[in-house]
Amino acid sequence: MTTLTIDPTTTSDLDIDRPRGGAFAAQVRHSVALARRSLIKTIRTPEALIDVTLQPVIFLLLFTYIFGGALSGGDRHSYLQYLLPGLLAQSLAMGGIALGQNLNADIEKGVFDRFRSLPVARSAPLVGAVAADVVRYLTVCVVMLGFGTIMGFRVETGFLPAVAAVALAIGFGLSFCWISVWVGMLVRTSGAVQGVMFLLIFPLSFGSPVFVQSNTLPGWLQAFVHVNPITPLVNTIRGLLVGGPVAGPLWQTLAWMAGLLVVFVPLALRAYARRA
Amino acid sequence: MSAARRSLLGMTDLVVRAEGLRKRYGKTQALDGVDLAMRRGTVLGVLGPNGAGKTTAVRVLATLLRPDAGYAEVAGIDVLKHPQRVRRRIGLTGQYASVDEDLTGTQNLVLIGQLLDLTTRDAKKRAAELLEWFDLSEAAGRPAKTYSGGMRRRLDLAASLVGRPEVIFLDEPTTGLDPAKREDMWGVVRSQITQGSSVLLTTQYLEEADALADEIVVINKGRVIAHDTPDGLKRRVGGLTLRVRPADPARVSDALRVLDLVASPGNTASTDTAAGARPGAVSVPVVDDTALDIVVPALRQAGIEVNDLGLHLPSLDEVFHALTEDAPLEAELV
Ligand SMILES: Nc1ncnc2c1ncn2[C@@H]1O[C@H](COP(=O)(O)OP(=O)(O)O)[C@@H](O)[C@H]1O
Ligand SMILES: [Mg+2]
């Protein structure tokens, strides 16, 4: 006589509650799947890349050819050498705005309701979207360095420092964009995300050594430049691309990046959880 | 619990149970103490007008929204304490299509499979299977933004079935669909029940709840005003009515005589006074649609020309009217 046995472990309730490969592996897998979704959206709508391609190029042209001569006593080339590392930092800060806008639109459209009804970690949709933004930040770097080279910009240090500058810039973009994610969770419309982020980024980029040396500024503004997170970033990237002190500003930049993550990741996640 | 044991219990256990759900938005009490109960392997129809609180209730059950007060259990699991465990057992199709427009049909479904912890291979297989079943195979490789409204609805429904969920929530799945597409959707719901799932669906139409549901909960202004079987509900609100409008008003009394032939027990034909009836119409409560087979030839034989002839269930307005006059409000279900 044969006995038909059902293995109780294969049908137990506990079994289906355990994510494949453990909770952490599952979270990584889910974030990757969701990052892939964002990448597909980026590829399908190339016009959404204007802010990381055309926009920095226009800034580069505008400042070099309109203000460059006046700002550096007629020496446009030396102004370009000064400006490009700074503009790179500003463009990365601006590059994160679209992320907050897209997430806001996804939530408004109800796309995220589906993700919320699935057994994935709360953070996975946000982490996935942020991870996919690497592509956009890399695009900013490639476009600016490529177009800058055509305009006459030259890296004065070497290949490895230039790679380090790009890596740091992207890393900063990934930290800074969490502010935009947070704002995207808080405000009603995606248009408002842009408004709020411009209000934040314009003072940060103009009150910094992006466009002019800060010793030309009045004292109170110099004080602001001093505590501005963009300042050490600009100084580091400048040092890595055209020479100058790196170590000091680098540590400050890394500290700022850590600080941004520690503050804004939890804020964004909490705002996301509350927005039902 | 083993599968075998569960199916033994399956005859009687409740797969959705909610007690005293309350949710307030500013001045609107969206849920004002809602109790729900759905038996395993059945369809529960939640019937109510716009703003009744249907979507809010579904969002609470599907772990998207925390109620201000109350208790809810899905598949035997506390929704508020263990949302993640509930999410492994449910599928949700919201009121507004939540497919990703930039992704293709396949990409939409594969993503959900991956988030449900299927291997990429299994996720692709399941996606192809569902796309085929929902007649979307040809469009599988196109971005969903190129889909028609009906195709999007189907993809959205397919998305909620990827994980073969134990409990499926469908929020107004047929609103905005033409009658033929509506019937297709009904077929899908019925097939999910044969495959062992339980379905909670919301609707604004008594017809739909009557066609699909084993039990109906009527909800208005955040309160449950009736929970009954379709037959029980129809007994209270009035069932199927056959309505005829003779072309010649002089023939009304002849038409009444014909309709009396098919009157359900204890009823007679009368001139129609229901809200929305055109003047000169006569109507009679009937048992089912076989009444048409008798009435149509009889009218012809009597030489009565008609402008309008049809079977009607009460509208939602009529349901509410009948229920609020009708006490006690809660029918006893055993
Ligand atoms: N997010 C929200 N903010 C404010 N009011 C809401 C919100 N969601 C629903 N409501 C209100 O709660 C009530 C019930 O809404 P809902 O559950 O969507 O009803 P139904 O799905 O039956 O049409 C309505 O009056 C609606 O306006
Ligand atoms: Mg609704």
Give the model confidence (pLDDT) of B219-241 as tens digits: 999 999 999 998 888 877 777 88
pLDDT at A117: 92
% of chain B exceeding 70 in pLDDT: 92
For residue B101, give Cα distances in angstroms to B147, B148, B155: 9, 12, 11
pLDDT at A1: 44
B51: Cβ below 6 Å to ligand 1? yes
Which among B4, B66, B90 has CB closest to A6?
Answer: B4
pLDDT at B318: 75
**What SS3 class is residue B289?**
coil
Probe target for ligand 1 pocket from B28, B47, B175, B316, with the most ligand atoms within 8 Å of CB: B28
Interchain proximity A41–B103, CB inside 8 Å: yes
Q: Does A17 or A170 have the greater pLDDT score?
A: A170
d(CA B111, CA B127): 9
Interchain proximity A119–B90, CB inside 8 Å: no
Q: Which residues of A touch B116 (CB under 8 A)?
A: 118-119
Q: Does B62 or B176 have the greater pLDDT score?
A: B62
Q: Does B220 or B179 have the greater pLDDT score?
A: B220
Q: Which ligand is nearest to the CA of B96?
A: 2
pLDDT at A9: 40
Q: Please say if the pLDDT value at position A154 is more than 90.
A: yes
- Please report the atom of ligand 1 found closest to the CA of residue B171: 21
Q: Where are the domains of chain A?
A: 30-275
State the pLDDT confidence band at A74, using cuts at 50, 70 and 90: confident
Task: Please state the rounded mean pLDDT for residues B58-69.
Answer: 95
State the nearest Cα–Cα gap between A260 and chain B, in angstroms.
Answer: 29
CB of A208 closer than 8 Å to CB of A85: no
Q: Which residues of A touch B97 (CB under 8 A)?
A: 110
The token pair that represents A251 in the structure block = 């540590």
Q: How far is the CA of B58 from the centre of ligand 1 (A)?
A: 11
pLDDT at B236: 78
Q: How far is the CA of B26 from the centre of ligand 1 (A)?
A: 11
Strand B28-39 and strand B77-78: the pairing is unpaired
For helices A76-95 and A97-109, the axis angle rounded to 10 degrees is: 20
Task: Please state the rounded mean pLDDT for residues A220-247.
Answer: 91
State the pLDDT confidence band at A85, using cuts at 50, 70 and 90: very high
pLDDT at B233: 84
Q: How far is the CA of A128 from the centre of ligand 2 (A)?
A: 30
Interchain proximity B102–A109, CB inside 8 Å: no
- DSSP alpha helix (H) spans, chain B: 3-9, 54-61, 83-87, 105-115, 120-133, 149-161, 179-194, 206-212, 230-237, 252-260, 290-301, 316-325
Nearest to B55, CA basis, from B175, B140, B143 = B175
Strongest mean pLDDT among A256-260, B181-185, B234-238: A256-260
State the pLDDT confidence band at B275, using cuts at 50, 70 and 90: low
Sole residue written with tokens 């799932």? B197
d(CA A23, CA A20): 8
B53: Cβ below 6 Å to ligand 1? yes
Question: In chain B, whose CA is at the least distance from the CA of A28?
Answer: B115
Q: Please say if the pLDDT value at position A224 is more than 90.
A: no
Q: Please say if the pLDDT value at position B329 is more than 50.
A: no
Q: Does B234 touch chain A (CB under 8 A)?
A: no
For residue B248, give Cα distances in angstroms to B42, B58, B122, B253, B270: 47, 50, 65, 11, 17
Q: Which residues of B touch A19 (CB under 8 A)?
A: 117
Which range (A188-192, B25-29, B314-318) has the least confidence?
Answer: B314-318
Q: Please say if the pLDDT value at position B290 is more than 70.
A: yes
Across chain B, what does the average pLDDT equal?
87
Probe target for ligand 1 pocket from B29, B36, B47, B55, with the most ligand atoms within 8 Å of CB: B55
pLDDT at B22: 97
pLDDT at B280: 80
Task: Please state the rounded mean pLDDT for residues A39-49.
Answer: 90
**ipTM, 2 dp:** 0.85
**What SS3 class is residue A2?**
coil
Q: Which residues of B touch A116 (CB under 8 A)?
A: 63-64
- Please report the atom of ligand 1 found closest to the CA of residue B172: 21
CB of A256 closer than 8 Å to CB of A177: no
Task: Please state the rounded mean pLDDT for residues B62-70.
Answer: 95
Q: Which ligand is nearest to the CA of B30?
A: 1
Q: Please say if the pLDDT value at position A219 is more than 60.
A: yes
State the pLDDT confidence band at B113, using cuts at 50, 70 and 90: very high
State the pLDDT confidence band at B316, using cuts at 50, 70 and 90: confident
Across chain A, what does the average pLDDT equal?
89
B28: Cβ below 6 Å to ligand 1? yes
CB of B322 closer than 8 Å to CB of B238: yes
Q: Which residues of B touch A24 (CB under 8 A)?
A: none
B220: Cβ below 6 Å to ligand 1? no
- Please report the atom of ligand 1 found closest to the CA of residue B48: 22
pLDDT at B206: 87
pLDDT at B277: 60
Q: Please say if the pLDDT value at position B293 is more than 80.
A: yes
Which among B65, B94, B115 has CB closest to A110?
Answer: B94
Task: Please state the rounded mean pLDDT for residues A170-195.
Answer: 95
Interchain proximity B2–A8, CB inside 8 Å: yes
pLDDT at A127: 96
3-class SS shares of chain A: helix, strand, coil, % to 5:
80, 0, 20
**What SS3 class is residue B204?**
coil
- Could you say which DSSP state residue B271 is in? E
Task: Please state the rounded mean pLDDT for residues B283-309.
Answer: 88
pLDDT at B332: 43
pLDDT at A5: 44
Q: How far is the CA of B133 from the centre of ligand 2 (A)?
A: 27
% of chain A exceeding 70 in pLDDT: 94
- DSSP alpha helix (H) spans, A2-119: 8-11, 13-17, 23-44, 54-61, 68-71, 76-95, 97-109, 111-116
Contacts of B25 (CB under 8 A, 6+ apart): none
pLDDT at B274: 61
How many beta carbons lie within 10 A of that of residue A91, not counting itself?
A: 27
Q: Please say if the pLDDT value at position B311 is more than 60.
A: yes
Q: Which residues pair with B22 in a beta bridge?
A: B32, B69
Nearest to A136, CA basis, from A174, A87, A190, A80 = A174
pLDDT at A181: 97
**What SS3 class is residue B64?**
coil
State the nearest Cα–Cα gap between A275 and chain B, in angstroms.
Answer: 9
% of chain A exceeding 90 in pLDDT: 64
Question: In chain A, whose CA is at the least distance from the CA of B66?
Answer: A276
Which range (A144-148, B146-150, B174-178) has the least confidence?
Answer: B174-178
What does pTM read for this prediction? 0.83
